[in-house]
Amino acid sequence: DGGITQSPKYLFRKEGQNVTLSCEQNLNHDAMYWYRQDPGQGLRLIYYSQIVNDFQKGDIAEGYSVSREKKESFPLTVTSAQKNPTAFYLCASSLRTEGDTQYFGPGTRLTVL
C-alpha cells in the first residue's frame, strides 16, 4: 500500500528533552511538509521541503528542526527551545508544491509532561 506513515502515534516526553517524530512516504513525492495542530485551530506550517537536502521554514519554525537526507523521509525534531510543544503533529507530501494535493499521515500526538 502506498501512503505516509508517522510514528509513534502517541509520544510522551519530559520537559527539556528533545524528541524526534518520524515521517516516511512511499508515494515518490518530491515535497514534504510538517504541520502543527492545536485544539480548535487550523494547521500551521512548521517546515517544508521541495527536494532532498533542501528545506524551508514555515510560519512557526522556532524551536523545531528538520532534515531531508532521503526522498522518503522527513523527520522533525522538537527541541527544548520550543516553549509549548504539546500538540498534534501532521506530516504531508505532494508531487510538487503549487496546486498539487497534499496527502497526510495519521499524525503524532506529542504530550510534554
Partner 1 sequence: AQSVTQLDSQVPVFEEAPVELRCNYSSSVSVYLFWYVQYPNQGLQLLLKYLSGSTLVKGINGFEAEFNKSQTSFHLRKPSVHISDTAEYFCAVNAGNMLTFGGGTRLMVKP
* Residues in touch with partner 1 (CB under 8 A): 4, 6, 33, 40-45, 48, 50, 56, 58, 88, 90, 92, 97-99, 101-107, 109
d(CA 40, CA 101): 23
Q: Which residue has the cell 522533525?
A: 76
Closest distance to partner 1 from the beta carbon of 92 (Å)? 8
CA torsion sign for 79, 10, 93, 35 is negative
The nearer residue to partner 1, 17 or 56, going by C-beta atoms, is 56
Closest distance to partner 1 from the beta carbon of 90 (Å)? 6
Closest distance to partner 1 from the beta carbon of 80 (Å)? 26
d(CA 19, CA 75): 10
Q: Which residue has the cell 498539487?
A: 100
Q: DSSP state, 70?
A: B
The nearer residue to partner 1, 82 or 102, going by C-beta atoms, is 102
Closest distance to partner 1 from the beta carbon of 1 (Å)? 15
